[in-house]
């Protein structure tokens, strides 16, 4: 919770990833961390195709903007890039945390959504000072691999108190082992960046 609070209070535009098995309390953690803050929440649909995911995304966007008097167009986007740009327009240049819950369902376990998100984040969302995006999901390998491949290890960092190790066999060591033993797509140098070098360059660079 402390790490999330620090993340939300940072003046920089940043992305965080919250992951762990289902029904472990990830969504509740985010709800509590964002309590009292205006925020956009979106949740993917399990086992639904891209078209239905896009329809559900826009439905959620309208629910969260119409009450604020938004003139958001009813046109259905043909791509995730268009959907994310509609969300960007809804921000109206003002930073507001965005949560994509069960992100792997939104993506249908494909890379397309991550590529579109990276493009829109780099060229639009990241230009809003203090803008925050939180990707949350239960399929750890998908979240880590797709996000790292899109943003590179030098823009991603591991944190020791993520919800992964909160009960039972989920320990600090198990979280480290996930990176060391199970992320085969990473080189040893990539793992060093993910586990320490990125954080060192971010917090302590002169």
Q: Smallest Cα–Cα separation from 51: which of 80, 27, 92?
A: 80
- The average pLDDT across 72-85 equals 83
Is the per-residue pLDDT at 69 higher than 50?
Answer: no
Structural domain includes residue 137: yes
Please report, for residues 88, 103, 124, 131, the alpha-carbon distance to residue 92 in angstroms, rounded to integers and kept in the order given.
7, 24, 11, 12
Domain that holds residue 17: 2-151
CA distance 156 to 137: 16
Structural domain includes residue 64: yes
Is the per-residue pLDDT at 108 higher than 70?
Answer: yes
Task: Count other Cβ atoms within 10 Å, centred on residue 82.
Answer: 15
Structural domain includes residue 185: no
Q: HSE of 11 in the Cβ direction (CA atoms, 13 Å)?
A: 0
Structural domain includes residue 110: yes
At residue 68, the pLDDT reads 46
Please say whether the beta carbons of 112 and 119 come within 8 A.
Answer: no
- The average pLDDT across 103-109 equals 86
Please say whether the beta carbons of 22 and 138 come within 8 A.
Answer: yes
- The average pLDDT across 147-167 equals 63
Considering its fold, how many domains does the chain have in total? 1
Q: Smallest Cα–Cα separation from 155: which of 9, 8, 16?
A: 16
Structural domain includes residue 38: yes
- Please write the tens of the pLDDT for every residue from 14-35: 888 776 666 556 777 777 888 8
> In the chain, at which residue ranges do the beta strands (DSSP E only) sit?
14-19, 40-43, 98-101, 132-137
- The average pLDDT across 143-161 equals 69
CATH number for the domain spanning 86: value is 3.40.50.300
What's the whole-number average pLDDT of the chain?
80
């Amino acid at each position: 919770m402390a790490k999330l609070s620090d993340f939300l209070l940072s003046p920089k535009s940043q992305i965080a990833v919250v992951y762990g098995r289902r029904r472990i309390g990830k969504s509740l953690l985010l709800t509590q961390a964002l309590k009292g803050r205006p925020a956009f929440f979106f949740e993917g649909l399990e086992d639904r195709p891209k078209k239905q995911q896009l329809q559900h995304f826009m439905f959620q966007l309208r629910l969260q903007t119409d009450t604020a008097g938004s003139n958001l167009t009813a046109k259905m986007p043909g791509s995730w890039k268009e959907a994310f740009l509609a969300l960007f327009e809804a921000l109206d240049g003002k930073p507001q945390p965005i949560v994509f819950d069960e992100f792997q369902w939104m993506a249908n376990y494909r890379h397309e959504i991550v590529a579109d998100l990276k493009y829109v984040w780099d060229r639009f969302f990241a230009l809003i000072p203090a803008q925050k995006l939180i990707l949350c999901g239960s399929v750890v390998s998908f979240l880590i691999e797709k996000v790292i491949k899109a943003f590179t290890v030098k823009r991603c960092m591991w944190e020791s108190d993520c919800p992964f190790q909160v009960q039972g066999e989920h320990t600090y060591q198990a979280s480290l082992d996930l990176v060391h033993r199970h992320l085969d797509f990473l080189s040893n140098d990539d793992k060093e960046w993910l586990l320490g070098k990125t954080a060192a360059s971010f917090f302590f660079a002169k």
